[in-house]
């Protein structure tokens, strides 16, 4: 009797399948972007997912590296002058280091401003500066060629009695021709050229600015126009028709040189995409295998429990 009552109760509480399906269909939310995105995710192979993630990571790695390379376009190794005369203590090893020293010190800004070195010049120094050499006789060279003479510099303290004291926006420093006194025979410098002429330089060992007289570019002498004599008139001749022999034009094959290419940024991103795809695929396969084993173990355990209860 108890069994019958339970069966009747179950049959009463059981929902009609057609009605339930109708209600589910009517109450279902509209398929939007999230639904289609999930569907696309499940349809697309896991290797492709990994390739997308790997390529994205590769791009994230390349962007800061490219920025750092542009900001630090020039580096110079030299002995450091860590003394009281240096405008920048212990000098600057790169254009990025130089710009950082400029941005953090109002004193450096005042000294450089006196030498007509502006904030705009410093913001682009990583792209415009080239390596040069300043000599104690006042010469400035780039690639072994003299680009300026009569170099002048500045220091925090007086070096000679002929130094000129300068006060710029409260900052005191001393200027002098570099030929008067310099402890080095020569030293490397960051040289900036404008329109092919020397503009300014900064010594790498101490950060002291350099101004100099640009070397004048020699103008090429004008080439004289050759005099062509008047032609002597010749007696008229009878014209004769001459038929030139027919020749077959020879086709010459044009040789094109292929550009030299390396792995580059594209190759790096592709490599990261392949690695990402492989790792993603293997990880998904491992997780799927573990889930399947866990499900199989649970099913076996349930069957054993049912068999024991019977």
Q: What DSSP string describes 21-40?
A: HHHHHHHPPPP-HHHHHHHH
Q: Whole-angstrom Cα distance, residue 123 to residue 271?
A: 35
Mean pLDDT, residues 254-271 taken together: 57
Do the Cβ atoms of 207 and 194 come closer than 8 Å? no
Q: pLDDT per residue over 168-204, tens digit each?
A: 999 999 999 999 888 899 999 999 999 999 999 999 9
Of residues 277 and 15, more confidently modeled: 277
CA distances from 303 to 8, 134, 291, 294 (A): 28, 90, 18, 14
Of all residues in the chain, what percent carry a pLDDT higher than 90? 43
Burial class (CB in 10 A: 0-12, 13-18, 19+), 98: buried
What was the pLDDT predicted at 302? 66
Task: Tell me the whole-structure pTM to 2 decimals.
Answer: 0.51
According to the model, what pLDDT value does residue 40 have? 65
Contact in structure between 192 and 129 (CB atoms under 8 Å):
yes
What is the longest distance spanned by two Cα atoms in the chain?
A: 145
Is the Cβ–Cβ distance between 115 and 241 less than 8 Å?
no
Q: What is the pLDDT of residues 48-74, one digit of tens each?
A: 766 777 677 767 776 665 555 554 579
pLDDT digits 0-9 by tens, 172-182: 999 999 998 88
Question: H or E element: which one contains 130?
Answer: strand 129-135
Question: What is the token pair recorded at 277?
Answer: 């795809």
Indicate whether 309 pLDDT > 80: no
Q: What is the pLDDT of residue 283?
A: 79
Summarize the confidence of residues 78-82 as an average pLDDT: 92
**In this structure, what are the phi and psi dihedrals at residue 248, rounded to the nearest 5 degrees?**
-90, 120
pLDDT reported for residue 30: 61
Q: Is 84 or 276 the better-scoring residue by pLDDT?
A: 84
Average pLDDT over residues 152-174: 95
Q: Which residue has the tokens 């999230």?
A: 34
DSSP assigned state of 185: S
Residue 88's pLDDT band, with cuts at 50, 70 and 90, is very high
- The CA distance from 261 to 241, in Å, is 58
Q: Closest Cα partner for 209 from 81, 85, 77, 87?
A: 87
Given a cut of 50, is residue 18 above it in pLDDT?
A: no
Distance CA 161, CA 104 (A): 31
Residue 117: Cβ within 10 Å count: 23
Q: Which of 17-26, 62-71, 159-168 has the highest mean pLDDT?
A: 159-168
Label residue 136 exposed, middle or buried (CB < 10 Å: 0-12, 13-18, 19+).
Answer: middle
- pLDDT recorded at residue 259: 42
- The mean pLDDT value for 151-165 works out to 95
pLDDT above 80 (res 86): yes
Q: Where are the alpha helices (DSSP H) in the chain?
A: 2-13, 17-27, 33-43, 46-71, 95-104, 106-114, 119-123, 125-128, 264-309
Domain borders along the chain are: 95-214
Model confidence band, residue 89 (pLDDT cutoffs 50, 70, 90): very high
Question: Strand ranges (DSSP E) for 36-128?
Answer: none
């Amino acid at each position: 009797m108890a069994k019958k009552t339970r069966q009747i109760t179950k049959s009463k509480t059981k929902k009609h399948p057609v009605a339930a399906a109708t209600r589910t269909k009517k109450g279902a939310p509209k398929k939007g972007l999230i639904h289609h995105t999930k569907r696309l995710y499940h349809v697309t192979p896991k290797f492709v997912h990994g390739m997308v993630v790997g390529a994205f990571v590769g791009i994230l790695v390349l962007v800061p590296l490219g920025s750092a390379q542009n900001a630090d376009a020039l580096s110079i190794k030299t002995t450091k002058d860590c003394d009281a005369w240096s405008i920048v203590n212990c000098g600057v090893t790169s254009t990025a280091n130089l710009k950082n020293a400029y941005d953090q010190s109002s004193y450096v800004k005042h000294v450089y401003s006196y030498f007509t070195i502006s904030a705009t010049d410093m913001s682009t120094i990583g792209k415009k500066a080239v390596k040069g050499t300043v000599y104690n006789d006042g010469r400035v060279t780039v690639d072994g060629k003299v680009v300026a003479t009569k170099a002048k510099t500045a220091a925090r303290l007086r070096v000679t009695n002929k130094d000129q004291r300068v006060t710029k926006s409260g900052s005191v420093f001393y200027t002098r021709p570099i030929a008067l006194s310099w402890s080095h025979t020569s030293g490397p410098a960051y040289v900036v050229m404008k329109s092919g002429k020397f503009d300014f330089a900064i010594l790498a060992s101490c950060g002291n600015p350099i101004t100099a007289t640009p070397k004048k570019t020699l103008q090429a002498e004008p080439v004289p126009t050759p005099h062509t004599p008047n032609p002597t008139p010749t007696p008229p001749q009878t014209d004769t028709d001459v038929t030139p022999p027919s020749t077959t034009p020879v086709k010459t094959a044009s040789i094109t040189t292929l550009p030299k290419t390396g792995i580059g940024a594209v190759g790096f991103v592709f490599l990261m995409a392949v690695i990402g795809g492989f790792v993603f695929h293997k990880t998904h396969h491992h997780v799927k295998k573990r889930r399947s084993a866990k499900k199989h173990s649970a099913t076996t355990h349930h069957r054993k429990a049912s068999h024991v209860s019977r």
